[in-house]
Structure 1
Amino acid sequence: MNLRKMAPDWVQVRGRRLSVAFGKRTVGRRPLPDFLVIGGQRCGTTSLFRALMDHPQIERPTMHKGVNYFDLNYDQGEAWYRAHFPMRAAAADTHVFDASGYYMFHPLAAERIGADLPGIKVIAMVRDPVERAYSAYKHEFARGFEWEKSFERALELEDARLEGEIERMVADPTYASFNHRHHAYRRRGEYARLLEPFIKALGRDNVLVIESESFWSEPEKEYARVNAFLDVSSFVPDKFERYNARPGRGLSPEVRAELEAHFAPHDAALGDLLGHAPVWRSTE
């Protein structure tokens, strides 16, 4: 039971503000993150986040999962960001991290991360982009951020909704685009294109890509890869749970075929990056 989430919204907001205010007063003892989980959205990042929290050498932000600094709150400054992390002694053998499903998609995040945290390690999760797109639609609709009652119609509107939004975000770094954040169903699944800026900014060896299907089918094996990548002790949580799955009717064959065709070249490019075909394409 998460008592923090059970509190009224106003209590949670006030608690966060007080925590950040205190954090700023003790910012000299608070580290910047040692690694980041950058997304993608609806790819199992919450499940990975919970598994990482179990590791005895890894600590999360103090108040909530995602600080959203490099995407939505960059204008708040480094002291504000540090204020979200737990205090630690200089010799403490811990790794603190931040996780945001939007970092991977935000057009300025990779450049900001590379400038402020050069050489930091990042973990990206990818999933069958067809299933990811449909899951994202159900997620946004359930939260009231999507109002189109059919996935097909939301796909039809995607290009018009996103037209000019990236250009506006680049021109005005304080601009937060609702449509870019909540209505990108195809574009968030074009993984190789989204990962390229992080590889350019941080180096290929500092970017770990995990296929969600593999994480869910062989969690111990994938978690071991994470341990090795982060250079922390070998550890296996007592259990791995899948969070935030949303049930719903299946996709129509026509929509599935259209999306599979759209993603084919993007999946091929991801395969070049991974060194093998994505698991959702490996049986073709």
Structure 2
Amino acid sequence: MAGKQSSLILCQIASKPSATLAKTDRTQDAAGGGSAGSPSTRHMTPNKLPSFDQFLETRVSKWHWPLLMLMGTFLVLASQLVPREELTKGKLRTKVMAAVGSEAVEQPAAEKQQVPVVQQVVLPEGPPEALDSQLAGCRTLKTDPIPVVDTAASLRVLETHTPEQRQQAENFTAAVAACSDFACLRQANQLPRAPGQFRFPHFFVIGFPKCATTSIYCHLIQHPQVQHPKEKESHLLTGQCTSPGLECSAEAQQHYVVDILNLAEAAQAKMTKAAFEGSTHYVMEADWFAEQLLATMPWLKVVVSLRDPISQAIAMHLHNVGHGRPSNCTVEANETSIYHCIRRSLKDKSRYAPKIQKWMEHFPRDQLHILQASSSRAYENLTKQEAMAAQLQGLKGFLNMDQMLPSSELPLTNYKHQRGNDDTLGRYWTLKRWEIEHLVEIARNSTQDLVQLLGQYNYAGEQAQAEWMQNWEDVWQDNLSRCEEGRSAPCKVVVS
């Protein structure tokens, strides 16, 4: 029994720190009459268990490390509750720079740090939510599946880069990603780029309104080398900026560069996707905007789409009425004819030549691309299967992209005028024969002015000019063929 008690005491002593062990030895010596140097006495003499004070003292000495660890854990958790202001300009730059894996550029002094270079950028699987939403809106029918876009395809070009090209790609991406105003973009876009990279932004689709621009937009955002904007038609540059100099507030510039043009996603893709936007009324502000836009973004490519002027005027009128906007013409009560509205528009907003000439005067030939397009059964050059493929390939070649992707067909969007029976509003418009003949005369004269400009500025040769004119003549003659006999006989006019 005494041996068991001694063993128990020895086990307890062995588990104590050295200081406590010495104290316990002295206590045992005093109780048993032995000396510190006689182990036989400690083993043979029964001993009392430690007092409560001794027990408490030894436990505190053992608990000091767990207590420190517990306090450290509490501080870490508490730090996560501190609100972070990530929407400030400096924080945004730091966030973007970390995303692209480059050295910090223009960070606040308190936040400057070396960010490790990331050799590979991993994008989320599937299209981003904003792109997915836009693609859903591009479907001809709501029952159609949402198109699938390979969002990581453009990054594969990075695998072919040499070490020097990789460094160029990193430097260019870092410089552009640090920008939040136009002056910074002008400076950053002067840097050398690696193969497969695009300047930011790369191009605009500027109009004309109701000229298949939505179909073109929907086709392009499905291309793996295109970076979709967060807003298709912001019109910020003409709505919040003024002439001269395209002057905008710092807040407007930051909103446009960072948010509307989707800078973060473009930087994440290492600028291997062409950023753009599609404000279709930019073309109408040619008198001042064309020159100022080129001065602000001298690298920018511009795409203009044109449609049969009569169809464009009718479609624009239908669009305004459908959105509750007051008409710019007077229509008699209970009268279905829109002749006066279309006639006025053909002499103003649907008269292409004066606006196009301003863009031709300011933008170099290799930075301005003009399409003959429409959006329904005639579809002029863009809806005839072979011509459509050639036009789309020419467009993507102009934009320096893979010409075969995503397809050789243009999606059909905004086709309200095609739905319903023959009497559905917007599918057919009733005009008198003499009204159509007069509208065709106005449209033909303005188209001749346009075709002459195409030849003068080397956008079309003689054959191409003749084909351009003939495409719209076919549309006009088709509508005249729908008229009944007599000068005032009714005609059913369908937009192209």
Q: Which interval holds the TM-score relative to the shorter structure?
A: 0.7 to 0.9
CA distance in 2, matches of 1:5, 1:68: 23
Query: What TM-score, normalized by structure 1, do the two folds share?
Result: 0.74
Q: 1: CA distance between counterparts of 2:178 and 2:347?
A: 42
Matched, 1:206 2:386: no
Q: Which has the larger radius of gyration?
A: 2
TM-score, length-scaled by structure 2: 0.44
Q: Is the 8 A contact 1:71 1:108 kept in 2?
A: no
Unaligned runs of 5+ in 2: 1-131, 138-175, 186-199, 242-247, 332-336, 374-379, 418-425, 455-459, 478-496
Q: Alpha carbons of 1:39 and 1:266: their partners in 2 closer, same or farther (altered >3 Å)?
A: same
Identify if the C-alpha distance between structure 1 residues 127 and 240 changes in structure 2 by more than 3 Å, giving closer, same or farther: same
- Show the counterpart of 2:414: 244
* Residue 236 of structure 1, CA deviation: 3.1
- The one of 162, 175, 178 aligned to 1:28: 178
Equivalent residue for 2:472? 280
Deviations 1:80-109 (A, max 9, x none): 320212223394311100111101112432
CA contact (8 A) 1:33 1:97 kept: yes
Could you tell me whether the CA contact under 8 Å between 1:138 and 1:246 is conserved in 2?
Answer: no
Q: What stretches of structure 1 of length at least 5 have no aligned partner?
A: 7-25, 159-183
> Which of 85, 93, 100 is the matching residue for 2:279?
100
CA change 1:269–1:204 in 2 (3 A) is: farther
Change (3 A) 1:264 1:4: closer
CA contact (8 A) 2:303 2:370 kept: yes
Q: 1:33-87 CA distances to partner (integer Å, 9 max, x unpaired)?
A: 210101001100000000000110011212x211212322324443232021222
Distance change (3 Å), C-alpha of 1:61 and 1:199? same
Moved more, 206-215 or 38-47: 206-215
Q: 1:256 to 1:33 in 2, by over 3 A?
A: farther
Match of 1:79 among 254, 275, 281: 254
Corresponding letter in the other structure for 1:79? Q
Greater CA drift, 117-126 or 273-282: 273-282
Distance change (3 Å), C-alpha of 1:115 and 1:195:
same
Q: What is aligned with 1:229?
A: 398
Partner of 1:131: 311
Counterpart in 1 of 2:437? Answer: 257
Q: CA RMSD in A?
A: 2.9
Please give the alpha-carbon distance, in whole angstroms, between the structure 2 residues aligned to 1:68 and 1:268: 30
The offset of 1:29, in angstroms, is 5.5
Q: Secondary structure at the match of 1:100?
A: coil
Counterpart in 1 of 2:322?
Answer: 142
CA contact (8 A) 1:129 1:189 kept: yes
Summarize the Cα distance change of 1:65–1:42 in structure 2 as closer, same or farther, 3 Å threshold.
same
Q: How does 1:32-181 map to 2 (within 5 A)?
A: 32-62=200-230, 64-74=231-241, 75-76=248-249, 77-83=252-258, 84-86=260-262, 87=264, 88-89=266-267, 91-106=270-285, 107-147=287-327, 148-149=330-331, 150-155=337-342, 158=344
SS in 2 for 1:49: helix
Cα gap change, 1:138 to 1:206, in 2 (>3 Å): same
Tell me, what secondary structure is at the counterpart of 2:224?
Answer: coil
Q: Could you tell me how far 1:155 is from its partner in structure 2?
A: 4.4
Which structure's relative contact order is higher, taking Cα pairs within 8 Å and 6+ residues apart?
1
Superposed displacement of residue 266, structure 1: 1.8
| Per-residue CA distance 1:137-193 (angstroms, 9 max, x = gap) | 11111111134555234347x4xxxxxxxxxxxxxxxxxxxxxxxxx5542322221
Give the deviation of 1:196 after TM superposition.
Answer: 1.2
Percent pairwise identity: 21
